[in-house]
Amino acid sequence: MKKTFLLILLVGIIFSVNCFAQEIRSAKEEEPVLLEKRVEKEEKKIEQQDKQPVQKKEEKKIEQPQKQAVPKKEEKIPRTKMTPATPKKRPRNVSTFSTTRQTQTSTTKVNKIKLQKVKKIKHKPYNKTNYVQQVFYNKPIKYHYSIPPRFIYRGIWIRYYFVYDNGFYFFNGYPYYVYHNHLHRYSFTDPGSYDLVDSVTDKVYATFYGFSLKQSYDRSADLRDRLNAEEGFYRYFCAERFEYDTNYKYDWDPDEYSDWYWD
């Protein structure tokens, strides 16, 4: 009995050993297959990852020409407000007339020049008497003797060109009023009249007489500013009418000025 039991044990052991050996062999045979599958999966993943950036690059290349085709909006440049330059005020105390200042342009070209737009300026009469007039002209012709011919517009009106700001001035003991770079006598005592002249037609619009040059100029300047405001440019100007004395010896000949309205 013992012998048979031992034989059965040996047969069982041998059988179990054979089964275990077969399992080990089958496991060893399946391991390379599984490894190959894993390697293939990993290779596929790597290929997919490599393909994705290439596809993205191609998509970007396709989108870029479309973006370039779209016109860009024009950028609006912000405009800064220009502040007008403030003119420097010149001194009002002038002792002598300047002989080097620019004179009036030749009268033949006056009407060809584009007329400037008028600024909103209203004449302000100067009523203060804080000065003492030292020079007097009881007749206008006595003042007209000293006028150079280049300041006689068309041989009829005195247009003394003087580059100063608008307003009252006291030069060489005599009062003046400057307007639009032209000098006008402005005496409280001296007699005289002012013509209101149309610079386009060179015709007198009105003549103003007063007890003094100041009164005549104030009346003329008031109407001048109203008319110029309506026209929109410096069309009308105030000026003394020049008186020519045939008995006086001038240092110039009126025949030399062909643009003067003389017979």
Question: Is residue 203 situated within a structural domain?
Answer: yes
Instruction: Return d(Cα 58, Cα 32) in angstroms, integer.
Output: 39
Q: What's the domain range around 132?
A: 107-256
Per-residue pLDDT band for 90 (boundaries 50, 70, 90) equals very low
112 in the same domain as 31: no
Question: Is residue 162 situated within a structural domain?
Answer: yes
Question: Is residue 45 situated within a structural domain?
Answer: yes
Tokens of 48: 């997919």
Give the total number of structural domains in the chain: 2
207 in the same domain as 111: yes
Question: Is residue 208 situated within a structural domain?
Answer: yes
213 in the same domain as 146: yes
112 in the same domain as 41: no
235 in the same domain as 115: yes
- Calculate the CA 261 to chain-centre distance: 42
Question: Is residue 80 situated within a structural domain?
Answer: no
Question: Is residue 39 situated within a structural domain?
Answer: yes
243 in the same domain as 130: yes
Question: Is residue 172 situated within a structural domain?
Answer: yes
- Tens of pLDDT, residues 4-14: 777 787 877 88
Closest to 186 in 3D by CA, of 221, 156, 155, 151: 221
Share of the chain above pLDDT 90, in %: 44
CB 155 within 8 A of CB 254: yes
What mean pLDDT is reported for the chain? Answer: 77
Question: Is residue 79 situated within a structural domain?
Answer: no
Computed over its alpha carbons, how large is the radius of gyration of the chain? Answer: 54
199 in the same domain as 126: yes
251 in the same domain as 152: yes
Per-residue pLDDT band for 72 (boundaries 50, 70, 90) equals low
CB 190 within 8 A of CB 240: no
119 in the same domain as 42: no
β pairing state of 152-153 and 174-179: unpaired
130 in the same domain as 32: no
236 in the same domain as 114: yes
113 in the same domain as 41: no
pLDDT for 115: 54
State the average pLDDT over residues 56-82.
56
pLDDT for 70: 56
Q: Where are the beta strands (DSSP E) in 43-96?
A: none
